[in-house]
Amino acid sequence: MTDDSPPAKTVAAWPLLNEEKLVFALGNYSRWRMLRELATGETRTTNELATAGGCSYDAALKHLKLLLATGLVTQGRGSLYQLPAHFLPVPGQPHVDFGHCLLRFNAGK
């Protein structure tokens, strides 16, 4: 019997985020919901993330600015947001390893 699961990612491959900033960024339910939406691996617009976060467009911009500053998301062409490649979850495993913490986004769904 062979193990066909993808290799595990190692946290040592990237610098750890600042713990205090990480905790602050994750401490807001709208930002948490935005990150859960981005954990699919797809890029999202500000409008899509505002809807996912249950907040206004202007509030989403403020949340995204904070998430960008902490390194939890990146902004690409056309103002599309995504998780940095090193944080993307392994397909089929709905969790993201931020180094200091592991977020399981499927809990409570």
pLDDT score for 16:
53
Domain locations along the chain: 16-103
What burial class does residue 1 get, using C-beta atoms within 10 Å of its C-beta: 0-12 exposed, 13-18 middle, 19+ buried? Answer: exposed
Q: Which CATH architecture has domain 16-103?
A: Orthogonal Bundle (1.10)
For residue range 44-78, list pLDDT tens digits in order.
Answer: 999 999 999 999 999 999 999 999 988 889 998 88
Question: What's at 105, amino acid-wise?
Answer: F
**pLDDT band of 106, cuts 50, 70, 90:** low
Is 80's pLDDT higher than 50? yes
How far is 75 from 77, CA to CA, in rounded Å?
Answer: 7
Q: What's the whole-number mean pLDDT along residues 27-41?
A: 90
